[in-house]
Amino acid sequence: MKLSIEGKEFQVEVATGQVKVDGEPLKVEIKQSSGPLTELQVEGKTFRVEVMERAGTELVVAVDGKTYCVVVKGLRASRALRTAKAGGEAPVCKSPVLDGVTAVMPGRILSVKVKEGARVTAGTVLCILEAMKMENEIRAIKDGIVNDIRVTDGATVNGGDLLMQVC
């Protein structure tokens, strides 16, 4: 895939335990992940990465407190469909940052509207979050397959908690 960060483009390839940026291999480990916040170790150096906003393929990302605008190019939802196992099982998502659906605020899950393995399109209601006596529809931001549902009806969540993944 290609990433455009502040207007500069990078070719990025992701494999288990290694990332190549413009053909150069980097050793990358996810040390900790909680909601939109991920702690990465890249070539032995630790970075705190937080996805602050998402809209389609555009992200606002803070790395150690510095904010960047990132555009993901060439990352297609059909990738998830191609990697799905036979029988319609959901694929393993590659990144909680790119594939995660998080709670927008603290509240209670009134109902989960999808099941693991369901194919969804951008805009599909995934669950209903009640916060401050209002019902908020949590929708898919991209086409994909629902995976790793971490909440149930009645569950209490904090803002930023990972609810499920769509990859």
pTM of the predicted model over 0.75: no
Give me the pLDDT at residue 87, please.
Answer: 35
Q: What percent of the chain has pLDDT over 70?
A: 77
pLDDT at 59 exceeding the cut of 90: no
CB 120 within 8 A of CB 64: no
Give me the pLDDT at residue 161, please.
Answer: 84
- Do 159 and 116 have their domain in common? yes
- Do 126 and 88 have their domain in common? yes
Q: What percent of the chain has pLDDT over 90?
A: 17
Average pLDDT over residues 103-121: 90
Q: How far is CA 29 from the centre of its chain?
A: 16
φ, ψ at 99 (rounded to 5°): -105, -10
pLDDT at 46 exceeding the cut of 60: yes
Average pLDDT, the chain: 77
pLDDT at 114 exceeding the cut of 50: yes
Domain count, the chain: 2
- Domain limit, last residue, from 73, 88, 103: 73
Query: Could you tell me which residue, 85 or 32, shows the higher pLDDT?
Result: 32
Give me the pLDDT at residue 125, please.
Answer: 94
Helix (H, G, I), strand (E, B) or coil at 99: helix
The residues, any chain, with a CB within 8 Å of residue 81's CB and separated by 6 or more, are: 119, 144, 145
- Do 20 and 89 have their domain in common? no
First to last CA, the chain: 15
CB 93 within 8 A of CB 148: yes
- Domain limit, last residue, from 28, 48, 73: 73
Give me the pLDDT at residue 92, please.
Answer: 52
Give me the pLDDT at residue 53, please.
Answer: 65
Query: Could you tell me which residue, 111 or 122, shows the higher pLDDT?
Result: 111
Structure confidence by residue, pLDDT tens digits, 75-103: 543 343 233 333 334 445 555 556 678 88
- Do 100 and 160 have their domain in common? yes
- Do 161 and 104 have their domain in common? yes
- Do 94 and 152 have their domain in common? yes
Give me the pLDDT at residue 15, please.
Answer: 67
- Do 16 and 45 have their domain in common? yes
Domain region containing 41: 2-73
CA distances from 85 to 51, 80, 90 (A): 29, 10, 7
Average pLDDT over residues 22-39: 79
What DSSP string runs through 56-90? TTEEEEEETTEEEEEEEES--THHHHHHSBTTTBP
- Do 28 and 49 have their domain in common? yes
CB 75 within 8 A of CB 57: yes
Tokens of 1: 């895939």
